[in-house]
Structure 1
C-alpha cells in the first residue's frame, strides 16, 4: 500500500502515464484498464491527454455504469468516450453478457459509505462472487444518480496488475484508513483484504 498525500491532477496523470507506458512496453498487443465515473477522473484524464501515449492499444472499461442511454448526463461510458475516444482509445460499454478482461490497472473511487464501483453496502459484494459483472440497485439510491447499475464485481476488479484509488475529503480518508486496518466490513475493506497486487492511493 502506497499513500500519496496532496497530489494534484497533473501529478496523478503523470503517475498514470508512467504506469500505462510500462504496461504497454510489457505487452505486444492491447492492454485494458478500468476507470471510475463520477467527477474526479475527468480532470485527470484531461491532463493525461497531453501525454504521449499509444491510446490505440488501450481498451478502457468503466468499473460500473448507470443503466441509462450513453448520451444521458449520468452515463459513465458516454463521458469516458467523449474524453478518450478522440485520443484513439477503444472504450467498452458494460453489458450483461460482457466478459471483463485482465486489467493492467484497476482505477477506483470510493464513496463515503465505503462503496466501490457500484458495489454498495446493501449489495453485499463477495470476494468469491462467481460472476464478473452484476446488475445492482443501490439502496438508498443516490439522489444525484437514482438509477440501477451494472458493475464489475470484486473478482473482476481484482483481476488486475495494480489497483489505484483517487479520493478527496477527510470523511472518505477516514473510511479508507479504517478499511486498511480491518476495522469494518464495507465493500472497500473486502476488496483491500483480498488484494494481492500493489495498491496506490492518491488523496
Structure 2
C-alpha cells in the first residue's frame, strides 16, 4: 500500500502519546471496543493535554445491550471519557456519522473490523453508514446482536490507526490482507483506504 506505517513493540503509554499528538483542537473520532483500547485511553487521559470537551466519540460498533451492561462499548466509553469532557455518541441505525479526524480500529483473528465479520460480507460501497446485524455464528464471549459502522463510514476519515495488541495470529492475518492475499473485511477496508489516499498506522 501507498502509506502504511507499522510500529513494532509500542507500549500503552507510547500509543497514547502518539494519539495525543494527533488530537489537538476538536472534531470527531471513532474508537474500537474490546480489551485493548481502554487501558490506552486511560493512559491518554492521565497524560493530559487533550481538550476532550471539543471531541465527539463514536464507537466503531456495539452490542445491542443496555449501556450499563458489561458488554456495552458505549457504556465503557462514557464511563471513561465523559468525565474528561468528551461527548459520547451512541450508534443508531438512522445516524449520520461525521467526517472523523481519526478512525481507530482493532481487528479479530478472523479479520473482522468493528462488527463487520467475514460472514456479513461487508461492502466497500455500502450505501448505509450504520448497520444492525447478527453475526453468525455469534461469538461465544459476546453472543449479542450488533450495530456497526460500515466500511464507507469508517473510511470517512483523515487517518486510520490499528492496534493489534502484539498478537502474532492477528499480525499474520493483517499482513496477508495488506498484501492482497485474502478478501477478509480488513482487506476490503485497506484496499478502499488505498484508493482514497488515507494514511494507515499500525501498532503491531
Residues of 2 paired with 1:6 and 1:139: CA distance?
34
Map 1:1-203 → 2, pairs under 5 A: 1-21=4-24, 24=25, 30-50=26-46, 51-168=48-165, 169-195=167-193, 196-203=197-204
Compute the TM-score of the two structures, normalised by the length of structure 1.
Answer: 0.95
What is the alpha-carbon distance in structure 1 between the residues aligned to residue 191 and residue 49 of structure 2? 35
TM-score of the two chains, using structure 2 as the length reference: 0.95
CA deviations 1:127-175 (Å, max 9, x no partner) are 1000000001111111110000000000000000000000020000000
Secondary structure at 1:130's aligned position in 2?
coil
Separation (CA, whole Å) in 2 of partners of 1:56 and 1:198? 26
Segments of 4+ moved more than 4 angstroms: none
Q: Deviations over 1:46-87 (max 9, x none)?
A: 100022111000000000000000000000000000110000
Q: Describe the SS at the equivalent of 1:60.
A: strand
Count of matched residue positions in the alignment of Structure 1 and Structure 2: 196
Q: Tell me how far 1:97 sits from its aligned partner.
A: 1.3
Distance in structure 2 (CA, Å) of the matches to 1:19 and 1:137: 34
